[in-house]
Structure 1
Amino acid sequence: MTANRPNHTGLEGRIAELIVEPLEAQGYELVRVQIMGTESPTVQIMADRADNAAFTLDDCTAVSHLLSAVLDVEDPITSAWTLEVSSAGIDRPLTRTKDFVRYAGFEAKIELNFPGPGNRKRFSGVLVGADEESVQLKVEKGEVLNLKRADFKKAKLILTDALIAFSTPEAPLQ
C-alpha cells in the first residue's frame, strides 16, 4: 500500500491489482473498487485524475474503455458482470493516505470493523492528520482519537458548505 493507492482485499483486491497500473499509466488514480451483488455483480470503480483536475464525463468514458479491455482479458469474475466507472465525488470515500491528508480540517465519518475507542464502531469529526497506519479524528468535546486504518470498514467525507467551496473550482473572471 502506498499513499496514492487504496488497500483492498479479496476479489476487490485482485481487481485493484489488475487495474491500478494501467490506470496510472493513463494519468488516473484508483480511489476504490467495490463489488455489489452476487448473481451478476456490478464492479464499481472510482477514480481521480492524477493531476487533481476535475474528473469529467470524458474521463469516465476513457477509464471505462481502458478497464473494460483489461478486465475482459484478465476475466477475474467468472459470471456475467457490469462495470461502473465514476468520480469519487465531493463527499468521497477516503481510501488513501493522501486523501486523509488533503482533506485535513474537513468533517468525516469513519466506521470500524469492530468496536474501538469508547467501545464504538462509528465516529464523526474533523480530520486532523494521517499516516499509513492511522488517522487522527477530532470528535465532539475536542478529543482527538487515533484510529488504526487496518480496522476501518469505511471512511468518507461529510458534505458541508466548506467542503463544497474547497472542491469547486473558482469560476474564471469575466
Structure 2
Amino acid sequence: RKAHEQQKILLEEDFEKLRLSLQVWLHEKIKKLDTLTFQNQSLRDKAKRFEEALRRSTDEQIVDALAPYQHIEQDLKSLKEVVEMKNQQIHQQEKKISDLEKVAQKNVFLEEKIQVLQQQNEDLKARIDKNLAVSRWNIIIISILRVTPLYYKLLHDQKQINFSQKMSLF
C-alpha cells in the first residue's frame, strides 16, 4: 500500500514534469508560429506594395525597365548554338578517347603476344643449338667410327638414338 502510494507520487511528479515540458515546447512552437505568421504577413504586404508600384508605373517606365532584356531571346539562341557546338566537340573527344583506349588495350595485348613469341623464339634457338651440338657430335662419332670395324653396327645404333632424340624434341 505504501509502495503503491510512493509509486503514485513518483508517477504524478513525472507527469507534472512532462506536462511542464510540453507546455514549454508548445509555447515555443506557438511563438515560432507567431513569428512565421508575422513574417508571412510582412512579405504579403511587401508584395502588395510592389504590385501597386508596378501598376502605377507608366508604359515608358516599363519599356525602359525591359530595354536591357530585349536581346535575351537572341542571346539565348546564340548560347544554345554554342552549347550544341561544345557538346559535339565533347562527343568527338569522348569518341577519340574511347578509340585511344581501345588502341592502348590492343597494344598491351600485342606486347604480351610479342613477349610470348620472343620466349618461343628463344626456346627454338636453344633447341636448334642443341640439335647442332648433337649433329656435330654425331659427325665426330661417325668420322671416328668410319675408321673402325664397328662402324655399321654403331651407325645403326646412332640412327636409332637420333630418331629418339628428334622425337623427344617435338
TM bracket (short chain): under 0.3
- Whichever structure has more strand as a proportion of its residues is 1
Tell me: higher relative CO, structure 1 or 2? Use CA pairs within 8 A at least 6 residues apart: 1
Which has the larger Rg? 2
